[in-house]
Amino acid sequence: MPVKINKEIEKIYFSIGEVAEMFNVNTSLIRFWEKEFEVIKPHKNNKGTRFFTKQDIDNFHLIYHLVKERGFTLQGAKDKLNENKTEVINNHEIVKSLEKIKGFLLEIKENL
Which DSSP string do the residues of 44-56 spell out, in sequence order?
A: E-TT--EEB-HHH
Helix (H, G, I), strand (E, B) or coil at 39: coil
Task: Give φ, ψ of 91 to 5 degrees.
Answer: -65, -40
Instruction: Name the more confident of 26 and 87.
Output: 26
pTM of this prediction exceeds 0.85: no
Q: Residues 7-25: pLDDT tens digits?
A: 556 788 999 999 999 999 9
Question: Domain-by-domain residue ranges, the chain?
Answer: 16-111
**CATH, range 16-111:** 1.10.1660.10
